[in-house]
Amino acid sequence: MKSGLWIRRQERFEGLVERCAPGAHRALAAEIAALNLPREARILDVAAGSGAFLARLRALGFANLHGIELDIKDFKLDSIPIESFDLNLDFADRYNEKFDLITAVEIIEHLDNPRHFLRELRKLLRPGGYLLVTCPNTEQWIARFKFLIKGEPKHFGLDDIKSQRHISPILSFQMLYMFQEIGYKLDRMTSVGSFWGPLKAALYEPLGMLVSLFMRGNKEPREINVYIAKQSDPTEDLQGQNSRYFESKNFDIADHQL
């Protein structure tokens, strides 16, 4: 419906398109405000798009802002320094100073190696610095129904790969495990944003609340999972983190075949 009663369109801030589900940037800005960072905090927004989220951070009073965006022709904030490079490659050594906060909104799902990306970001954080990273919520109740019927994860079907390069789905327990492995401590997890208009929400949200009573695992209801974490020491003794597990003298690959 063109009126937005069924499907909401992408929003804008200061005329700049927000490249995510409606309501997400606004909610994320509120999460950052709640961290009570000093206004001189050094902040890096990764995959900054048009600059809409940086504009929101500037509206909060932050002035020491920096961005990374591969396609800089769409970046419209002339007053904020922007770098352009491929986030699939090593990039931490491009910066001489560390950051108090790094935001990575709706980018990790597009990348070849999420672990490599998180490692590079950690190198750029000051000790105790914050990372805010988001990804599509494939555990949402309606996403589980879609997988049951179509055999494709929501946001990560073949059409999503072709149109958006959504290639790296990450479940919440996987993200939390990577944090421990790489060196982040979770501060808060939530979900934000929805393309549902008020009519669709009125029809589906009561059903979602009922279904969630029988769900296990992540029950966050919104389109985008949000993780806020602090830089910490890696957990050295996690089972399964060592890529050399085949070297174990007690490991017999025949015992692990389907």
Query: pLDDT of 54-106, one tens digit each?
Result: 999 999 999 999 999 999 998 999 889 999 999 999 999 999 999 999 999 99
Tell me the pLDDT band of 252, cut-offs 50, 70 and 90. low
Closest CA to 71 of 82, 80, 84, 81: 84
Mean pLDDT of 131-148: 96
CB atoms within 10 A of CB 107: 23
- Evaluate whether 125 touches 119 at the Cβ level (below 8 Å): no
Secondary structure letter of residue 10 according to DSSP: P
Whether pLDDT at 123 is above 50: yes
Rounded percentage of the chain residues whose pLDDT exceeds 90: 88
> Which is more confident, 255 or 36?
36
Residue written as token pair 């109740």 = 141
User: Within its chain, how far is the Cα of 253 from the centroid?
Assistant: 34
Q: Mark 1-17 as b/e (b = at least 16 C-beta within 10 Å).
A: eeeeeeebeebebeebb
**The residue to which tokens 């009561």 are assigned:** 206
pLDDT score of 248: 53
What integer pLDDT is reported at residue 4 of this predicted model? 84
Report yes or no: 37 and 65 within 8 Å, Cβ to Cβ: no
Structure tokens at 94: 């491009």
Helix 198-212 / helix 141-150 crossing angle, nearest 10 deg: 80
Mean pLDDT for the stretch of residues 23-46: 98
Distance CA 147, CA 91 (A): 35
What span, in angstroms and rounded, lies between the C-alpha atoms of 173 and 203?
A: 30
Distance, CA of 152 to CA of 159 (rounded, Å): 10
The token duo for 254 is 């025949």
Mean pLDDT for the chain?
A: 93
Buried b (16+ CB within 10 A) or exposed e, 72-92: eeebbbeebebbeeebeeebe
Q: What is the pLDDT of residues 161-214, one digit of tens each?
A: 999 999 999 999 999 999 999 999 999 999 999 999 999 999 999 999 999 999
Q: Which pTM was predicted?
A: 0.93
Distance, in Å, from the CA atom of 47 to the CA atom of 50, rounded to the nearest integer, reads 9
pLDDT at 26: 98
Domains, the chain, with CATH or none: 12-232 (3.40.50.150)
Query: Can you give the pLDDT at residue 74?
Result: 87
24, pLDDT greater than 70? yes
- Give the Å distances, CA to CA, from 183 to 25, 110, 231: 26, 22, 6
- First-to-last CA distance in the chain? 47
